[in-house]
A = this chain, B = another copy of it.
Amino acid sequence: MSTDEAAIPPSTRTRVRRVPQRGQYDRATLHAILDDAYLGHVAFADSEGVHCIPTACWREGDHLYVHGSNGSRLIKLAARGEQVCVSVTHLDGLVLARSAFNHSMNYRSAVIYGAFECVPEPHKITALDTFMEAIAPGRSREARPGNAKELAATTVLRISLDEASCKVRTGGPNDDEADMTLPVWAGVLPMALAPQPPIASTPHIATPEYVRQWKTAAGRTK
């Protein structure tokens, strides 16, 4: 397993060509983008064309994991080892420049190419517990675990992060020199996927720590 500092050599598919200075190829950036996400979009092709399907995902080590019902089209196709592209994107703000043309967005985006592989039976429960712990630390010991039937109905897949790259834009607007004196407001309207107050279905049960934390968490939720 690679360290966070290690770079992932760009492939012809992952090298960032538009605004190449926004390309980032270190594992630390990739891991941070994936760990901040609850879902990604998976592109795949079949006889009906290309598809782009959102699905929950989580990272462990140098793999991104997804799961789903054995009957799902995405899961069936991915389990066959077809080539896919997975994209995880965070929108961090709208960048308002003095000229219309230089308007932009701040974002952190990761793109992964390759094929999923099935996580075999003995590791399936561990992988699903890792997902639960990423969402709600401690909860995998509280919720009723999956029974044999539930686990048998679920496929867990993982894709290597060996062919992946990131594209990141941060900071304020980049205006043309000639526009700098225009009397136009410029700046950033930031945004973040922010936790909202929890909604309990079980008012008679004590609020777990991870739910209390959710209430007060600011901005980033993981």
- A interface, CB within 8 angstroms of B: 12-13, 17-18, 38-39, 41-45, 48-54, 56, 68-69, 71-73, 83-87, 89, 91, 93-94, 96-101, 103, 105, 107, 109, 111, 113, 128, 132, 135-136, 139-140, 142-147, 150, 154, 172-173, 179, 182-202, 205-208, 211, 214, 219, 221
Q: State whether A173 touches B201 (Cβ < 8 A).
A: yes
Sort A-B residue pairs by CB-CB distance and give the 9 closest, nearest first.
Answer: A43-B43, A43-B52, A190-B196, A52-B87, A194-B194, A101-B150, A99-B144, A41-B41, A54-B89
A182's partner among B73, B103, B144, B184 (CB-CB below 8 A) is B144
Copy tally for this chain in the complex stands at 2
* B-side contacts of A193, CB under 8 Å: 91, 191-194
* B-side contacts of A94, CB under 8 Å: 38, 135-136
Q: State whether A91 touches B185 (Cβ < 8 A).
A: no
Q: State whether B201 touches A190 (Cβ < 8 A).
A: no
- 6 pairs across A/B with beta carbons < 8 Å? A39-B107, A51-B111, A53-B111, A96-B143, A103-B135, A190-B198
Q: State whether A184 touches B202 (Cβ < 8 A).
A: yes
Q: State whether B195 touches A190 (Cβ < 8 A).
A: yes
Q: State whether A172 touches B201 (Cβ < 8 A).
A: yes
* B-side contacts of A179, CB under 8 Å: 144
* B-side contacts of A145, CB under 8 Å: 99-100
* B-side contacts of A49, CB under 8 Å: 13, 83, 85, 113
Q: State whether B196 touches A192 (Cβ < 8 A).
A: yes
For the complex formed, measure the closest distance between the CB of A112 and the CB atoms of chain B, giving whole angstroms: 9
